[in-house]
Amino acid sequence: MSEQAPRSLPAWTGNLLLSATTFCIFVAGWEAAVWAFGIPKIVLPPPSAIAVAFWQSLADGELGWHLSVTLYEILVGFVVGSAGGLVLGFIIALSPLMERIFYPYVVAFQTVPKVAIAPIIVIWFGYGAASKVVITATIAFFPLLANTIMGLRATPQDQVDMMVSYTASRWQVFRMVRLMQALPYIFVGLDVAIVLSVIGAIVGEFVGAKAGLGYLILQKNFNFDMAGTFAILIILSLIGVGLHVVISMAQRRIVFWMDMSGEHVTGA
């Protein structure tokens, strides 16, 4: 009986092992460098001190509440901003008149730094979650708007003409041709918007908040708890990576006829 060749590991398993190995080497090098060069913990805490600070925050119960507040602000702001950008993008892309009316004002608003208007939004909407949701929504809005417009305008005209020749209605042309062409662009906008939403929520909490991870960072900085600050920063990074993975998984399921580079899948 001939021996069967061993099955190769899936590509994602190899990538996961590579990422885990790289992470372990990086953490070990960081720990060794801090102790070897005698770097004070207030300047750069070692990973072991960060892990202890994370566990203490988790045991005290403060981390769970602040994390839930920030996640709420991120997700609600992302949904509101993305929905607004998606709807206005449809309107502007499909109506030249609406483009002439709205688009110059949208671009002008986008050029205003959100950090500059964040205090104004906090004054208008208060120190609660509402102001953070508004700030997050304003940051998540433009990536969806720009990518939706670009995607709808990328539709080949010959496909539209073919649908019209078969007496398709405007809704059928939009749903079967324009929207399908725009979906990859829309998901790129969603991917950018979800990451920027994390930044938006933290910016809002820095300006004025009663709870949230940004509020917790300010407290720990005031107490010179650098290990605790780094622990929260790592949590924020993990939130961003996790939300990016969720959007990527949704893209693979919904835009199943295209690969990640945006080219049509040829099939096996």
CATH code, domain carrying 207: 1.10.3720.10
Please give the structure tokens belonging to residue 262: 């945006």
Residue 238 near residue 244, CB atoms below 8 Å:
no
Q: Considering only CA atoms, which of 168, 156, 183 is closest in space to residue 262?
A: 183
Q: What is the pLDDT of residues 75-107, one digit of tens each?
A: 999 999 999 999 999 998 888 888 888 888 888
Residue 20 lies in a domain: no
> For 52-78, what is the mean pLDDT?
89
Is pLDDT at 64 greater than 80 in this prediction? yes
pTM: 0.82
Q: What b/e sequence results for 242-263 when a residue is b if at least 16 CB atoms lie within 10 Å of its CB, and e otherwise? A: ebbeebeeebeeebeebeeeee
Report the alpha-carbon distance of residue 198 to residue 70 in Å, rounded.
8
More confident residue, 63 or 4: 63
- Angle 129-153/96-111 helices, nearest 10 degrees? 130
Read off the amino acid at residue 158.
Answer: D
| Kind and range of the H or E run holding 220 | helix 213-222
Distance, first Cα to last Cα, the chain: 31
Quote the number of domains for the chain.
Answer: 1
Residue 178 lies in a domain: yes
Residue 26 lies in a domain: no
More confident residue, 123 or 256: 123
Residue 247 lies in a domain: yes
Owner of token pair 């949208």: 106
Is pLDDT at 266 greater than 70 in this prediction? no
| Kind and range of the H or E run holding 179 | helix 179-207
Q: What mean pLDDT, rounded, does the chain reach?
A: 84
Residue 164 near residue 176, CB atoms below 8 Å:
no
Phi and psi angles of residue 259, each rounded to the nearest 5 degrees, phi first: -85, 180
Residue 112 near residue 121, CB atoms below 8 Å:
no
Residue 36 lies in a domain: no
Residue 90 lies in a domain: yes
> For 48-64, what is the mean pLDDT?
84
Instruction: Name the residue range of residue 231's domain.
Output: 62-254
Residue 27 lies in a domain: no
Residue 40 lies in a domain: no
How many residues in the chain? 268
